[in-house]
Amino acid sequence: MSCIPLLGEKNRWYISTFVERASSCIVSFVVSQKRDEATLQELVDQSPQAHWHYSDLMASYKELNYYPGKHTPMPHKSETYRIEGMNAELRHYLARLHRRSRCFSRCAEALQRTVKLVVYAWNRWQLYLQQYPKYKAFPMQFINP
């Protein structure tokens, strides 16, 4: 793994995710330094087709091509609660996303791989909870295949 250090004051990384509502699984994610239309369109293109896409009122979301689905920007959290909850879960399970002064990623590839591992464990956990709702389990139990 080659690593380019993330040195400098203003190195910001964004983690954008698509969450499927029925299973609470993350169906697509991207880690990038920009939150522009090209990056978000890549996220839409690599995710499975859906009938409805809900988002907040960020201007970039309005310009994306969601075909054949429909995009509905929401001024409140009534339809975006799943993704907001997932953002909180990512911050909870990844210390590098807590606070910039204490834990942070020095390598973009390390951040990408860490998010990929958490997404893998999270999705396996969500599917387990649907299959066995009475049995208690935690996401970190699902890291090893």
Q: Give just the sign of the alpha carbon dihedral 103, 109, 115, 120.
A: negative
What does the pLDDT look like over 35-83, one tens digit per residue?
Answer: 888 888 888 888 887 777 777 777 777 778 787 777 777 777 777 777 7
Structure confidence at residue 98 (pLDDT): 67
3-state SS, residue 60: helix
Q: pLDDT grade, residue 2 (50/70/90)?
A: very low
**Greater model confidence, 135 or 139:** 135
Topology given in CATH for the domain delimited by 14-134? Nucleotidyltransferase; domain 5 (3.30.420)
Where along the chain do its domains lie? 14-134
Q: What angle, rounded to 10 degrees, do the helices at 81-93 and 108-131 form?
A: 120
CB atoms within 10 A of CB 36: 12
Q: Is the pTM of this model over 0.85?
A: no
Q: What is the pLDDT of residue 3?
A: 45
- Using alpha carbons only, what angle is made at residue 7 by residues 4 and 1, rounded to the nearest 5 degrees? 20
pLDDT tens digits along 98-136: 655 555 566 778 888 888 988 898 889 889 988 998 888
